[in-house]
Amino acid sequence: MMNNTSIQDFIYRLDQSHQHAFAVDRLLQDLHDWRSQFGYALQQHLQVVGGFQLESPLQKLQLEMNQQLELHMQGWDAQWAALAPAQSLAEAFDDKVMLLVFGKFNAGKSSLCNLLADSFRLQQQAVKYFHLENGQVVYRLAPLREGATETTARLQGVCLGEKLILLDTPGLHSVTAENAALTQRFIDSADGVLWLSSSSSPGQVQELDALGRELRRHKPLLPILTRSDQVEEDEVDGEICSVLCNKNASQRALQEADVYQRSKDKLQEMAVDHQLLRTPVSISAQMVRQADFDQQAMTEAGVDQLFHALLDLIEPALDYKQRKPAEIFIHYLQEHILEPIQHILKQMLAQIAQLSSDMQTALPVLQEKVIANTWRHVVPELGTLLAQHAATQDVDIVCKTLENWANEALSQQLAEHLTDYALPSLAPVTLNLAAHIRYEVIAAHRSTDEPTIAYDQLHAELSNQLQQSLSQPLAPLFAECTAYLNALDHSLQQRREMLMQFTQTLDQTAQQMRLA
């Protein structure tokens, strides 16, 4: 049995650890109720605001938004079912602390798992390797494959002692999309995360983005800088040779501080609590193996520091484990239900609101344009009309004809300029001339000549009254169009408020759960 105080202390305290009681059933019921109520609220807001033609851009946007929402809602159950393998894995190791070994491919994940496995075995602890096949745990004898290529094509892991599980996954930023998706799918099954990053290029921004996602899940996370070694020249038997050695304490401290600071900055940028971030540790698995697990070599390679850090991770990991069923469901609600709905509504509501605003701005201009165009269409024919009826001086026929022309021209203008609106019935244009406004009879200078029939005043009065009469039926019509748009804006605001309310409720539930 290898004598290593840090490993022995870790194993002893791990075995002595126990899970705290946590009332998760009531919380799960509240979360299921949240989903039902959110779905009902969304259904209630699927109604399209009336007042617009079916082919109008505004109506099409409303229908498109509702179709996107309905399509997403139809997939809620399937999305939850897709998380079943992760839940099954969590249930299979319900009595153990499960740590996800997480990082991009070639970060040394399998190598670290095998190193820890050998460390446990040297302490006479049981070590069992496994992989997941069709959602079932399959045990095997062979250790995890290591290599420079992406060797992990499926979820695999190792049971260490009685209470620790390491899950070795394909890289989240894998060279294959299938492997990256596999890693993402099983993240929820873990109680804590070991984030591995090679010391040759530690803490890349791409990895920090994934790190931020994990910290939002409020599970403990320990950054580990792997391959913390370098090749140096040394004299062996009188000859200069290249030898592998640990990076010195100063080099490691600088890298760890750099990764921690950049991680902290990134998390603050992402509005994630940076206090969830643990201090990084450095390790060289190759140096440990090269010295055949010599006590001093393990200390110099960073093993003692690693086990001390792992020990600090166990208690928060157990706390997470107690609330994990609720955490998994919250993650599902946040990432598979709420976030897609937020994306759909943010994009579609902004488009609809902008179009509605543009239409609101255009209405006064259109109203003046409709009046002017109708007047210009009718008035040029007025002189001819008055001349046609000069002999009879029938003002009533003139007015009736002019009204018909105006109503026909007005309908054409509305059809052209208010094509997006489902317009109510329009009150007809009516002309009401004063009794004294008539054709003028101008007597001839000679009795043998016919009198002259003049209509200049009548023309001017009809022209002015036509313009005034056009405004009367249009004012309530355009007011109705404004009301349609105001109703739509109110509906948009109601959706925003509904979404904000459900978001706040879910966030508060998650926050209260984590403070319990």
Residue 188's pLDDT band, with cuts at 50, 70 and 90, is confident
Identify the CA nearest to 263 among candidates 335, 308, 210.
210
Q: Please give the full DSSP string across 386-404, using - where no structure is assigned.
A: HHHTTTTT-HHHHHHHHHH
Give the pLDDT confidence score for residue 122 in this predicted structure: 92
Range scoring the smallest mean pLDDT among 119-123, 149-153, 355-359: 149-153
> The pTM is what?
0.79
Residues 6+ positions from 63 with CB-CB distance below 8 Å: 48
Of 482 and 273, the one with more pLDDT: 482
Tell how strand 281-282 and strand 221-226 pair up: parallel
Tally Cβ neighbours within 10 Å of residue 322: 17
Q: What is the DSSP letter of 224?
A: E
Question: pLDDT band at 149, cuts 50/70/90?
Answer: very low
Q: How far apart are CA 297 and CA 294, in angstroms?
A: 5
8 Å CB contact between 151 and 111: no
Residues above pLDDT 90, as percent of the chain: 54
**DSSP bridge pairs for 100:** 167, 193
Question: Which of 154, 216, 220 is closest to 193 using CA atoms?
Answer: 220
Alpha-carbon distance of 262 to 348, in angstroms, equals: 35
Instruction: Give the mean pLDDT of 237-241.
Output: 72
Confidence category of residue 304, pLDDT binned at 50, 70, 90: very high
Q: Quick one: three-class SS letters along 299-367?
A: HHHCHHHHHHHHHHHHHHHHHHHHHHHHHHHHHHHHHHHHHHHHHHHHHHHHHHHHHHHHHHHHHHHHH
| Lowest mean pLDDT, pick from 165-169, 209-213, 355-359, 466-470 | 209-213
Write down the pLDDT at residue 75.
95
CA-CA distance, 317 to 332, in Å (whole number)?
20
- Predicted confidence at residue 267, as pLDDT, reads 81
Distance CA 168, CA 113 (A): 7
Polymer length in residues for the chain: 516
State residue 148's pLDDT score: 46
The partner residues of 158 in beta bridges, in order of sequence, read 129, 166
Per-residue pLDDT tens for 419-471?
A: 999 988 888 999 988 888 898 988 777 777 778 889 999 999 999 999 999 98
